[in-house]
Amino acid sequence: MTRLHPEGLSTLPADVARPGYDRAALTTGIVHLGIGAFHRAHQAVYTENALTRSFGPWGICGVSLRSPDTRDALAPQGGLYTVAVRDAGGAHLRVVGAITEALVAPEDPEAVLERLTRPAVRVVTLTVTEKGYCHDPATGALNEDHPGIRHDLETPQRPETAAGFLVEALDRRRKAGVPPFTVLSCDNLPSNGDTLAGILRRFAALRDPEFGRWVADNVACPNSMVDRIVPATTEDDRAAVTRALGCEDAWPVMTEPFSQWVIEDRFPAGRPAWELEGAELVADVHPYETMKLRLLNGSHSTLAYLGYLAGYQTVSDAIADPAYARLIRGLMDEEVTPTLKVPPGADLGRYKAALLERFANPALKHRTWQIAMDGSQKLPPRLLAPIRERLAIGAPIDRMALSVAAWMRYVAGRDEQDQPIDVRDPLAGRLAAVTAPAGMDAESLAPALLSVREVFGDDLPQNEIFRAAVTAALGRLLKDGARRTVEALSGAKS
């Protein structure tokens, strides 16, 4: 079977959408670090739309910081790939052309630095996941002991981390008199732009205090809120897309109809006209970001841990259980909503109803195990931040505490059938070291995990109410199992 390729675009079935601009005229103006499925289903699609509506020099050079897989799939396809938008009604396919090339950083870090230093590159976007920031999730500050950061400080010309690439490229631009690019974080971190700005400033200052000040004064890092559910592509997905295209796409991405991007409009070096096709350019992203991180991602993590423990493989399986749906509705309405500042023009009731529908999308098959990954990085913004605010005003935290307890039960590493759980987390070694001696006993397991201060900070472990709530919830999970615990709590009023 032939491969998806620019020369074969005209032979695709008529209902497959394709680039609506002159791709041969496209030049690269964006470097994206972390070219995974999420980027290809989200920012690349907004850029594709912007190119269609208002063509400009905004092709994307996608960089993998680790594996060559995406490059290996996309290079023979001339950068083309398919986005399959799926819901109960079927799938809509679109071939996207905005990616002009894909690089693999560990193979050739100099090539990445060369692209990042080109004057034509004016925006650098990032989806490197929470752990890719090499920061302390409890404080948001650069983790100066991180092995990647230490490596990049010692060998700045051959960086490994996102911060190492950005700072070295900014230094080269500064020395060459090329204005800096704007750096746009598209990860689920609170104040992602401000957090990244702090990390870059500190990293640069560790190289040279004066350079640190220059970064602080000259590099714009707008905040942004990104939202689209993009499960990992499976073999079946690949085969289905290939069948529908009539040619092979080695790595299509699967997603849902919904998409949202709210961006702080601070791009001194220019940007694509993303707003022409749906992106919201605003002065303050914060209320949007808190709404999304706590309602969507907080619910997601809750469904991931409690769902996995109860044997639900996917989010749609978990939310189809009425007790789980009640729990999530209660979590959102009773515990999370009171902590939110409503974004201008938003209707929280509709937003939450839409979330429940999105979670229920049967065509997505979003695995609970996938969302359960990297909990040490995800818990602080999604659950612990609203918990702190609730505790400060003496408000109940029962459902959020159950969610934290479910994470503890999960990272203890054995499921309810006593089978091993494949716990993926940058702190996995440390979590295993504290959970193993504690055993499956809430009175010892809860304090053992609460002592991980990168997650819980210095304050939460000291909070009697929090400790008691989490320990009690963990005790119930261990005694009754996730399903029965959810059933019991979801019926109760907080």
Could you list the residues that contact ligand CS2 (CB under 6 A)? 188, 227-229, 296-297, 300, 370-371, 378
CB of 192 to ligand CS2, least distance (A): 12
Q: Which residues pair with 261 in a beta bridge?
A: 226
In the bound state with ligand CS2, the residue whose beta carbon lies nearer, of 40 and 201, is 40
Distance CA 400, CA 470 (A): 9
Chain residue at closest Cβ approach to ligand CS2: 300
Residue 209 phi, psi (nearest 5): -55, -35
CB of 370 to ligand CS2, least distance (A): 6
Name the minimum Å distance from CB 248 to ligand CS2.
27
Phi (first) and psi of residue 237, to 5 degrees: -60, -45
In terms of C-beta distances under 8 Å and separation of at least 24 residues, what long-range contacts does 436-443 make, across chains too?
Answer: 438/412, 440/412, 440/414, 440/478, 441/478, 442/405, 442/471, 442/472, 442/474, 442/475, 442/478, 443/471, 443/475
Expressed in angstroms, the distance from the first to the final Cα of the chain is 58
Nearer to ligand CS2 by C-beta: 300 or 329?
300
Per DSSP, the three-state class of 22 is: coil
Nearer to ligand CS2, 146 or 300 (CB): 300
Cβ proximity to ligand CS2: between 188 and 314 the closer is 188
Q: How far is the CB of 351 from ligand CS2 (least distance, A)?
A: 13
Closest separation in Å from C-beta 191 to ligand CS2: 16
Rounded least distance, CB 320 to ligand CS2, Å: 18
Whole-number Å distance between alpha carbons of 261 and 391: 31
- Return the number of the residue (305 or 456) whose C-beta is nearest ligand CS2: 305
d(CA 239, CA 253): 12
Neighbour count for residue 371 (Cβ, 10 Å): 23
Least spacing, CB of residue 361 vs ligand CS2, in Å: 11
Count Cβ atoms below 10 Å from residue 322 Cβ, excluding itself: 10
Q: What are the two backbone dihedrals, phi and then psi, of residue 182, each rounded to the nearest 5 degrees?
A: -90, 140
Whichever of 77 and 125 has its CB closer to ligand CS2, that residue is 125
CB of 126 or CB of 371, closer to ligand CS2: 371
Q: Which ranges of 247-293 does DSSP label H, i.e. alpha helix? A: 286-291
